[in-house]
Structure 1
Amino acid sequence: MKLYMSIISGFLLLSMLASISFLISKKSNLDINKTSPFECGFSNFNSSRMSFSIHFFMVAIIFLMFDIEVAIMLPMFISLKFMKVYQWMMTSLTIVTLITYGLYHEWINGVIEWAK
């Protein structure tokens, strides 16, 4: 019974705080100068939304993928103490094979090539 009451009171408190923050955070559309970009006292001549290279975005995504894969590989050396050598080698080989296949797939699709 106490568990249900604490869950219900927590949910009520959470929903009350969420609705209060939603009401407080309403932005006013009355002053357009506050929402426009300001550059050294001059009005901007171009749009503030500059397009960027999709290739740069893809390289950033590849970097994040390999960064996560390295984070997955780091505990492998600690797990060597708790696993048999054969199991450890198969697990390591599977992870390295998946990483190599991902790199090969990106290379074949031309994502890694900087200039075309």
Structure 2
Amino acid sequence: MLLSSLSLSISLLIPSLLLTLSLMISFRSSSDQEKSSPYECGFNPKSTARIPFSLRFFLLAVIFLVFDIEIVILMPCPLLLWATPPHKFLVTLFLFLIILLLGLIHEWHEGSLNWTP
């Protein structure tokens, strides 16, 4: 009992010390407008340093990653055919493919796959 309470206290103490130390190290002083502005050889910049980010591109990239991961999940299916009974394998595979197809149809009808608005 003493050993488990000692382990618990150490496991709580070390992360809290590391968190406190990291907060103390990363503490920034007051923000200055001059320091946060871009610098171009002493002149005022002609344009903004930040490029506007396309939200449609981000959403399309997230959709691609989700469907890409689902394809990776489908890759070992031929090996699973030998390890499981065929009727269970086919039901599971068709159910997974139907869920993927329904997700694709939903994204298509929502207009998330269209690049232009």
Following superposition, the deviation at residue 37 of structure 1 comes to 2.9
Distance 1:87 1:30, change over 3 A: closer
d(CA) in 1 for partners of 2:35, 2:84 = 60
Alignment correspondent of 1:61: 62
User: What are the ranges of 5 or more consecutive residues in structure 1 without an aligned counterpart?
Assistant: none
d(CA) in 1 for partners of 2:31, 2:88 = 65
Identity of aligned residues (%): 33
Following superposition, the deviation at residue 32 of structure 1 comes to 4.2
Instruction: Say whether residues 1:112 and 2:113 are aligned partners.
Output: yes
- Normalising by structure 2, we get a TM-score of 0.81
User: What are the ranges of 5 or more consecutive residues in structure 2 without an aligned counterpart?
Assistant: none
Following superposition, the deviation at residue 107 of structure 1 comes to 1.0
Runs of 4+ in 1 over 6 A off after TM superposition: none
d(CA) in 2 for partners of 1:88, 1:7 = 44
Following superposition, the deviation at residue 64 of structure 1 comes to 1.3
Q: Deviations over 1:71-115 (max 9, x none)?
A: 222232332232111111111111111111111111111111223
Alignment correspondent of 1:78: 79
State the AA in 2 paired with 1:108.
Answer: H
Query: Across the two proteins, how many residue pairs are aligned to each other?
Result: 115
What is the root-mean-square deviation in Å for CA atoms of aligned residues?
Answer: 2.1
